[in-house]
Amino acid sequence: MTLRVMEKGDLASFVERLIASEPGAVGPVRKDGKHVFARLASVEDLDLAYTTTLLPPKKYLFPPQETLLRFRLGAPPVVEPVLEAPPLVVIGVHPCDLRGIWATDRAFGDDHVDTNYRARREAITLIGADCLPDEHCFCTSVGSHLPEPASFDLFVTDIGDAVTVEIGSERGRALLERYARSREATAADLAGLQKRRHAKEAAVKARLNVDVQMLPLLLESVSTSPLWEQLGAKCLSCGNCNLVCPTCYCFDVGDLMQLNLEEGERIRRWDGCTLVDFATVAGGHNFRREAKSRVRHRYYRKFQYLMTRYGRSFCTGCGRCSRSCLAHINPPETINALLAEAEREEA
Amino acid sequence: MTSFDVNVHYVTRVEGHGNLKARVRDGQLEECRWEVPEAPRFFEAMIRGRAYHEAPPITSRICGICSIGHTLASIQGIENAIGFVPSEQTLLLRTLLKHGETVQSHILHAYYLAAPDLVGAPSVVPLATSHREVVLRAVRLHRLANEWCDLIGGRTTHPIRAVVGGWTRLPTVEELRGLRQRISEALPDVEATVELFRALPFPAFERETEYLALRKPDEYAWYGGDIASTDGDVTPLPQYRSKVKEFIVPHSTAKRAKGNRSSYAVGALARVNVNYDQLRPLAKQAADALGIRPVTCNPYLNTAAQVVEVAHVMEDSLDVIDRLLERGLREEGYAVQARPGTGVGGVEVPRGTLYHEYTIDAGGRITDANLIIPTGQNHQNIEDDLRALVPTLEGKSREEITLAMEMLVRAYDPCISCSTHLLEVEFV
Amino acid sequence: MRPKVAVFDFGCCEGCQLQLVNLEEALLDLVGLVDVRQWREAMSEHADDYEIALVEGSITRESEIPRLEAIRRQAKVLVALGACAHTGGINAMKNHMPMEQALEIVYGDKARWFDTIPARPLSAYVPVDAAVPGCPVDRQELVEVVKALLMGVTPALPTYPVCVECKMAENVCVFDLGLTCMGPVTRAGCRARCPSNGNRCLGCRGLVPEPNANAHKEILAEHGRTVEDILAEYRMFVSSAEVAQ
Amino acid sequence: MSTPLTRQIESLYLGRPATVTAVRTLTDKEKLFDVELADGPLGHEPGQFVEVSVFGYGEAPISVASSPTAPGGFQLCVRNVGRVTGALHRLEPGAMIAIRGPFGRGFPVDRMRNRDILFVAGGLGLAPLRSLIGYVMDRRSEFGHVTILVGARTPGELLFNDEYAGWARSPDTEVHVTVDRAAEGWTGHVGVITTLFPRIQVDPKTTTAVIVGPPVMYRFALAETFAKGVPEDQVYVSLERRMKCGVGKCGHCQINGIYVCQKGPVFAYAEIAGLEEAL
Ligand SMILES: Cc1cc2nc3c(=O)[nH]c(=O)nc-3n(C[C@H](O)[C@H](O)[C@H](O)COP(=O)(O)OP(=O)(O)OC[C@H]3O[C@@H](n4cnc5c(N)ncnc54)[C@H](O)[C@@H]3O)c2cc1C
Ligand code: SF4
Ligand code: SF4
Ligand code: SF4
């Protein structure tokens, strides 16, 4: 890894030049007192002093709705695959969201490679940034508080009077060389970076009271816990937790016709396993009829099913679901309650 | 001499249901009933006990055609009741939204509902082929008006952003600029509309009538003002009940209203008659071209007056937008302090003056409401017009007379769905 | 063969029919794909051989029931257009007060002249094949439903709540703005129009098929709404639902 | 990355063009479609499924109902339940559709070779089973005794009833058919499919059971099979789930940690026995 250092003023002009010269630059901007990733018209729009955005940058890799095919009916129908991949520089991605991208890279890259995801992924440059945890963040508990090494092109950390820039890829290096004035990092800079990281770790308050790698095992024993019943009673089946989650990637597919009923497209749209009909089949049979089984499924996906398959937790600790669940269902409380229950049983 | 019965069950191409029943004997209208079998919907009762801020979204549902007008009248009535004074920016945006509705509704009525009569077509559907250019122009203007209301109000019908206290969301500067550009680009379509209606044969028929409209000293009134009559008297809005006298007559089916005479009219023609001096230049030209000057007493020309008003509000909107842009848009929020009280809102909606009166208690709940819609005010006038019209049709066929009567009803653009005060009565 | 369509209305504000007109150019296209046989609000032509009936409004008078039944007998497909037809809509607010009282408030001593019954959705009297929810209907959804009918498909409504579309639109949740919202129990399909415009969802599209109303009411209470407020909330657009009683 | 790219290259969601060459009505709700791919054979194993596109309507997972040993294209047996299946039902011979797949894991024919096979098919479950039955019939000598149990709610709902006699004529093969409710002219057995079990002989040491049917059927049919002593790893089922992509992405078909489209739809009972959500 190469570490460079930029003066703060130089960071602003770097961003300004990215906005001016690269085809698309997005970053966190304010919206009704929160933050969202959005187009940057100028560096003034960018607000790096944020905790999490409402939606993770997933929306650029796997948009809420996306066209897969376009077709024109006829004999034979003319069908054309659509792979949209607008080049994009995403500025200010936090470590948890980089981990989220690590996760969707795995899920969409496994076995049958998802061509649409891959095309977008290849067209995106990720410039990470360190963050300001709030009471919902628990990244340190799932090991996503440090920038995922292979996931970013550049990663910027504020060390007080300057910023360090980690170079994660050739693409990142090229951008830096082309648009930024930076210098070699000194031992003092490195110390500053370490200090900043420790400060951030100390600032993360929410936590899972268990080593994350133990979670698949823990969940093995608690699938019939009364806790699921309690959560099911509170859950609105609103899907908020799915939709805001950087590692939820389920989708629905359907055809949309134009009014001429001759041309149309096949689209995919975000779906969520907490929604009532997620597992309903023709004939009306619902394989996860009750809210409790849907909530449970979601937790098992994050901390057991996908974790077992890919080796690391599919929860990034970003706390988005905790923030957006009106019923206050959140991973730290849920996991800690399950743990306490398992420990009680053991005793 | 002609003798026959007219019985048009559901006059078509009006918003809502209206039945026209008449008995003509020897060319005289012996019996005439303009019936409104619309279901009563009890809005005044339904909002009792509701929180004051719920009145606008609920009363908006009185009428889908003038839902913006209902929303604004309701907001105005509530704000007057609780003692809230809206900001200038808020008022400018309300005017802009109101203007959007005026274009929306007037274009709909003039082109889609009234024009087919004037060219002898049963509806706009065949016109889509025979007069494609005209229909496409109507669609363009209508689309503009709808997108305009979407932009300012958040939705074309039942606006979302306009609330007691102000706005939940403002348009952006770019959006306002874009709207301004689109409105100015549409002015040629407005001129073409004036040309079109100038060439159409409006029936010649006049009956002396009292016209009522809101009036303000400094501008053509849409939102608030005093109640001015072509008879010369002026009534402050809070005293509306002294001017708008509601009554029920035994042979009628709807609650009606009268002013100085047995009946009065509200609507586009009433407004142009009352506020002619405040029309913008483009609208003045249109009025000239269409032969309207105060006081014009041909009810068929209400449609022409609508065209004049379209010209007026389009031009006025350019000015409103300029003023908004000059001031710069500011996030003001919409928090209010509510105190108990009674307040009246008066808004000129496409079909005439709409009154919303509310009484609010100390807990911010509505204890009483009175809503008077324009079409109810016009009912008696429509009937009086019909009585005067039939003898002038001497020698015409039964079909022609029926059509002339139907057209007259349609010219009022009656929006009967606003059935807060409309009732169906079975007479024995 | 273009399917023959007719448009009807019962007690309502006619804002939903208006959305048909508001389709603008798309309406011209549509008129090419279907054969409009009657539509009182827009045309004088009138024929009774329709196959698809778009019916707006709720049933609020005894005398409307036979008319609705006649429409049902003729139509192969009966579509409830808008909240009033689909769920009873705002008209059903009056069902929560004694009918005599409602009459008296509005009509005083003339009250006895009226034929009025509690407002009910069409489905309270006849089978309904499809619905376009909302007050007013969403034009995009309206077009989707019409297209589905033209393609021979039973239109399916989302069974998930408005929150889904609200999150996709990346709105700040109105609960975070200090207000409360019907979104979590309201059927999606409007692309979260009200929250996206800075307001709160009032529930005009009706409830999702399986609302967790208890949990929702608890959340409203937690956000400072009184029991009275909460009931009022449920008694605006979903008055006829069980959870509003 | 400087130019926006809409690359006209391979897409995971693009199917292969195919033609419906014949349509046969089987019951009120099911039709059988003969399908030929424009670019060559499907190359499926018994029990696999394909994603069928009817453009304008969407895509649906459908099991291949014919054996790979059958000549020509392949067959799909489709029940009309909604958008895509309804559109399929309206197709005439000559119509063009698109096919992705074959997907999933089929029946392990190699493990079944030389063993006795007990087929239990409830309702539409016969559609995927028929691909295996056809395979076994075409290579009859490679398998032991074959018992086929077929059940449907009513005689009118029995699928492929013109083929039962042919199967029964194969050496060492028995076919038993039952309906839940009889109808006029029905002289056969009446009762749910489990009522056929007392009539058959099963050697648990040499038998592989293959059971496919609606969710409600499994519990009872499995109990009967186990009661005959067949071990859990010699019992195969084919599971249906909601499924959109067919390739392990969309998440709908997941049963606990398992994707039906990847690991299934065919499972040895032993693989899913512990999974709460499986049956
Ligand atoms: C591996 C597999 C093999 C199958 N084999 C066959 C077969 O051989 N023959 C056959 O007729 N059917 C088969 N099915 C079922 C078939 O896929 C569904 O009936 C079909 O997808 C319904 O689509 P539709 O568009 O017609 O219905 P829709 O209009 O989409 O929906 C109708 C109902 O089906 C549910 N549904 C929607 N999508 C799916 C889906 N992908 N899977 C299941 N239910 C869904 C909906 O919740 C709704 O209740 C199989 C399913 C799977 C998973
Ligand atoms: S499960 Fe919740 S905390 Fe974990 S990654 Fe998803 S949204 Fe973030
Ligand atoms: S956000 Fe909360 S209430 Fe909504 S589905 Fe998720 S767990 Fe349930
Ligand atoms: S604003 Fe309303 S609809 Fe949107 S997420 Fe919040 S509760 Fe749901």
What's D10's domain CATH number?
2.40.30.10
Strand, helix or coil for residue B349: strand
Strand, helix or coil for residue B224: coil
C195 in contact with ligand 4, CB cutoff 6 A: yes
Q: Which of A148, A309, A326 is nearest to A235 (CA)?
A: A326
CATH number, domain at C81? 3.40.50.700
Residues D148 and D267 in one domain: yes
- Give me the count of residues in chain C: 245
Of the residues C93, C128, C150, the one at which a domain ends: C150
Residues D64 and D157 in one domain: no
Residues C124 and C235 in one domain: no
Got the DSSP string for B16-58?
A: S--EEEEEEETTEEEEEEEE--PPP--HHHHTTTSBGGGHHHH
Chain A residues near any Cβ of chain C (below 8 Å)? 31-34, 36, 54-55, 59, 64-65, 233-240, 243-244, 257, 259-261, 270, 272, 275-277, 291, 324, 326-327
**Which chain C residues have a beta carbon less than 8 Å from that of D56?**
151
Q: What is the largest CA-CA distance in chain D?
A: 74
Distance from the Cα of D40 to chain C's closest Cα (Å) equals 31
- Give me the count of residues in chain B: 428
Q: In DSSP terms, which residues pair with B15 in a beta bridge? A: B415
Q: Which amino acid is at B375?
A: T
Mean of all residue pLDDT scores within chain B: 87
Name the burial class of residue C106, with classes exposed (0-12), middle (13-18) and buried (19+) by CB atoms within 10 angstroms of its CB.
buried
Range of the domain at B60: 43-419
Question: How many structural domains comprise chain D?
Answer: 2
- pLDDT reported for residue A73: 92
Residues D96 and D127 in one domain: no
Sheet strand arrangement including A65-72: A78-81, A65-72, A263-270, A251-257
Compute the distance between CA of residue C14 and CA of residue A4 in angstroms, rounded to an integer: 66
Compute the distance between CA of residue C206 and CA of residue D150 in angstroms, rounded to an integer: 44
- pLDDT reported for residue B117: 76
Cis upstream peptide for D102 (omega within 30°): yes
Cβ atoms of D138 and D153 within 8 Å: the answer is: no
- pLDDT reported for residue A137: 94
- pLDDT reported for residue B419: 44
Residues D14 and D132 in one domain: no
A244 in contact with ligand 3, CB cutoff 6 A: no
**Which chain C residues have a beta carbon less than 8 Å from that of B54?**
232, 236
Residues A195 and A286 in one domain: no
Compute the distance between CA of residue D266 and CA of residue D274 in angstroms, rounded to an integer: 16
Instruction: Tell me if there are at least 3 CB pairs under 8 Å linking chains B and C.
Output: yes
Of the residues A203, A232, A261, the one at which a domain ends: A203
Distances (CA, A) of B317 to B92, B93, B217, B313, D269: 10, 10, 19, 6, 73
Residues A158 and A226 in one domain: no
A325 in contact with ligand 3, CB cutoff 6 A: yes
Compute the distance between CA of residue B220 and CA of residue A25 in angstroms, rounded to an integer: 48
Confidence check: pLDDT of D165 > 50: yes
Q: Would you say residue D37 lies in a domain?
A: yes
Task: Phi first, then psi: give them for residue D203, nearest 5 degrees.
Answer: -95, 105
Q: Would you say residue D278 lies in a domain?
A: no
Range of the domain at A154: 2-203
Residues C110 and C217 in one domain: no
- pLDDT reported for residue C226: 84
Determine which of D5, D19, D55, D216 to mutate to test the interface with A (most A C-beta atoms within 10 Å): D55
Residues D77 and D166 in one domain: no
Residues A85 and A49 in one domain: yes
B395 vs A341, which has greater pLDDT? A341
Residues D264 and D234 in one domain: yes
Q: Which helix (H) or strand (E) holds D97?
A: strand D96-103
Of the residues D102, D132, D164, the one at which a domain ends: D102
Q: Residue B332 CA to chain centroid, in angstroms?
A: 30
Q: Which residues contact D136 (CB under 8 A, 6 or more apart)?
A: D112, D117, D142, D143, D146
Question: What is the band of B428 on the pLDDT scale with cuts at 50, 70, 90?
Answer: very low
Compute the distance between CA of residue B427 and CA of residue A48 in angstroms, rounded to an integer: 73
Give pLDDT < 70 ranges for chain C. Answer: 98-116, 240, 244-245
**Which chain D residues have a beta carbon less than 8 Å from that of C151?**
56-57, 87
- Which whole number is the average pLDDT over B328-356? 94
Q: Would you say residue B174 lies in a domain?
A: yes
Task: Phi first, then psi: give them for residue C22, nearest 5 degrees.
Answer: -70, -5
Strand, helix or coil for residue A158: strand
Tokens of B182: 């689109």
Residues D150 and D191 in one domain: yes
pLDDT in tens, B167-206: 999 999 999 999 999 999 999 999 999 999 998 888 889 8
CATH number, domain at B162? 1.10.645.10
Q: Would you say residue C230 lies in a domain?
A: yes
Residues C144 and C175 in one domain: no
Q: Which amino acid is at C74?
A: Q
Output the residue whose Cα is nearest ligand 2's atom 4.
A315
- pLDDT reported for residue B90: 97
**Which of A80, A110, A288 is opposite residue D277, by nearest beta carbon?**
A288
Residues A189 and A234 in one domain: no
Cis upstream peptide for A86 (omega within 30°): no
Compute how many other C-beta atoms are within 10 angstroms of the C-beta atom of residue C154. 13
CATH number, domain at D114? 3.40.50.80
Sign of CA dihedral C114, C119, C121, C126: negative
Residues A49 and A181 in one domain: yes
Q: Where are the alpha helices (DSSP H) in A71-127?
A: 95-109, 115-122
Residues D221 and D87 in one domain: no
Residues C142 and C168 in one domain: no
**Which chain A residues have a beta carbon less than 8 Å from that of C147?**
257, 259, 261
Q: Which helix (H) or strand (E) holds D227?
A: helix D215-227
pLDDT in tens, D192-247: 888 888 888 888 899 999 999 988 888 888 888 888 888 888 889 998 888 888 88
**Which chain D residues have a beta carbon less than 8 Å from that of C156?**
83
Q: Where are the alpha helices (DSSP H) in B154-172?
A: none
As averages over each run of 10 residues, the pLDDT of chain A (347 residues) reads 86 92 92 93 92 95 95 90 92 95 92 91 94 92 88 92 92 92 90 92 91 87 91 95 96 92 94 91 85 92 87 93 95 92 83
Tokens 């969201």 map to which residue?
A97
A174 in contact with ligand 3, CB cutoff 6 A: no
Atom of ligand 1 nearest to the CA of D261: 1
Q: Would you say residue C107 lies in a domain?
A: yes
Cβ atoms of A51 and A254 within 8 Å: the answer is: no
Confidence check: pLDDT of B320 > 90: yes
Q: Would you say residue C157 lies in a domain?
A: no
Residues C38 and C141 in one domain: yes
Interface of C with A in 193-212 (CB under 8 A): 198, 208-210, 212
Residues D98 and D113 in one domain: no
Residues A55 and A115 in one domain: yes
Q: Which helix (H) or strand (E) holds B371?
A: strand B366-372
Tokens 């699921």 map to which residue?
A228
Residues A173 and A48 in one domain: yes
Compute how many other C-beta atoms are within 10 angstroms of the C-beta atom of residue B137. 20
Mean of all residue pLDDT scores within chain D: 89
Cβ atoms of A103 and A247 within 8 Å: the answer is: yes
Confidence check: pLDDT of B1 > 50: no
Tokens of B327: 């001031």
Q: Would you say residue C156 lies in a domain?
A: no
Which conformational region is residue B157 in: left (phi greater than 0), alpha (psi within -120 to 50 degrees), or beta? beta
- Which whole number is the average pLDDT over D60-76? 93
Of the residues D44, D78, D102, the one at which a domain ends: D102
Question: How many structural domains comprise chain C?
Answer: 2
Q: Give the number of whichever ligand sits closest to the CA of residue A144.
A: 2
Q: Which of C130, C133, C131, C190 is nearest to C163 (CA)?
A: C190
Q: Would you say residue D193 lies in a domain?
A: yes
Distance from the Cα of B195 to chain C's closest Cα (Å) equals 22
Residues C109 and C60 in one domain: yes
- pLDDT reported for residue B54: 93
Residues A169 and A250 in one domain: no
pLDDT in tens, A162-214: 999 999 999 999 999 999 898 898 999 999 999 999 999 999 999 999 898 98
Helix axes A331-346, A226-234, angle to 10 degrees: 160
Confidence check: pLDDT of B38 > 80: no
Q: Calculate how far, in angstroms, residue A321's C-alpha sits from the geometric centre of ligand 2.
A: 5
Sign of CA dihedral C88, C92, C93, C96: negative
Q: Would you say residue C155 lies in a domain?
A: no
Sheet strand arrangement including B226-229: B212-215, B226-229, B234-235
Question: How many structural domains comprise chain A?
Answer: 2
Residues A20 and A115 in one domain: yes
Question: What is the band of B256 on the pLDDT scale with cuts at 50, 70, 90?
Answer: confident
Residues C210 and C137 in one domain: no
Residues A99 and A222 in one domain: no
C184 in contact with ligand 4, CB cutoff 6 A: yes
Distance from the Cα of D119 to chain C's closest Cα (Å) equals 36
Residues D66 and D169 in one domain: no
Q: Which amino acid is at A170?
A: E
Q: Would you say residue C226 lies in a domain?
A: yes
Residues C166 and C145 in one domain: no
A327 in contact with ligand 3, CB cutoff 6 A: yes
- Give me the count of residues in chain A: 347
**Which of C57, C93, C116 is opposite residue B46, by nearest beta carbon?**
C93
Q: Model-level pTM?
A: 0.90
Cis upstream peptide for B295 (omega within 30°): yes
Q: Do D58 and A266 touch (CB under 8 A)?
A: yes
What secondary structure, in 3-state letters, does B246-268 show?
A: EECCCCCCECEEECCCCCCECCH
Q: Where are the alpha helices (DSSP H) in chain C?
A: 15-21, 25-33, 64-74, 83-87, 99-107, 139-150, 162-168, 193-196, 213-222, 227-237
Q: Which amino acid is at C174?
A: V
For D254, half-sphere exposure in the C-beta direction (CA atoms, 13 angstrom radius) is 21
**Which of B61, B146, B160 is opposite residue C90, by nearest beta carbon?**
B61
Of the residues A175, A203, A231, the one at which a domain ends: A203
User: With an 8 Å Cβ cutoff, is C24 touching chain A?
Assistant: no
Distance from the Cα of A318 to chain C's closest Cα (Å) equals 16
Confidence check: pLDDT of B252 > 70: no
Compute the distance between CA of residue A253 and CA of residue A268 in angstroms, rounded to an integer: 4
Which conformational region is residue B232 in: left (phi greater than 0), alpha (psi within -120 to 50 degrees), or beta? left
Cβ atoms of C236 and C89 within 8 Å: the answer is: no
Compute the distance between CA of residue D127 and CA of residue D76 in angstroms, rounded to an integer: 8
Of the residues D102, D124, D140, the one at which a domain ends: D102
Compute the distance between CA of residue A112 and CA of residue A184 in angstroms, rounded to an integer: 42
C83 in contact with ligand 4, CB cutoff 6 A: no
Q: Calculate how far, in angstroms, residue A230's C-alpha sits from the geometric centre of ligand 2.
A: 20
Q: Which of C232, C234, C238 is nearest to C214 (CA)?
A: C234
Residues D92 and D122 in one domain: no
Interface of B with C in 361-400 (CB under 8 A): none
Cβ atoms of B202 and B317 within 8 Å: the answer is: no
Tokens of B369: 């409401």
D116 in contact with ligand 1, CB cutoff 6 A: no
Q: Would you say residue C57 lies in a domain?
A: yes
Residues C40 and C102 in one domain: yes
Residues A126 and A47 in one domain: yes
- pLDDT reported for residue D100: 93
Range of the domain at C174: 162-244
Question: How many structural domains comprise chain B?
Answer: 1
Residues C37 and C99 in one domain: yes
User: With an 8 Å Cβ cutoff, is C115 touching chain A?
Assistant: no
Cis upstream peptide for C136 (omega within 30°): yes
**Which of B45, B67, B157 is opposite residue C106, by nearest beta carbon?**
B45
Residues C132 and C224 in one domain: no
Q: Would you say residue B16 lies in a domain?
A: no
- Which whole number is the average pLDDT over B411-425? 55
Of the residues C110, C126, C150, the one at which a domain ends: C150
Range of the domain at D260: 109-272
Confidence check: pLDDT of D4 > 70: no
Of the residues C118, C150, C182, the one at which a domain ends: C150
Q: Which of C144, C5, C16, C23 is nearest to C78 (CA)?
A: C5
Tokens of C175: 């609960």
Q: Which residues contact C142 (CB under 8 A, 6 or more apart)?
A: C19, C20, C23, C81, C132
Confidence check: pLDDT of D40 > 80: yes
Cβ atoms of A119 and A83 within 8 Å: the answer is: yes
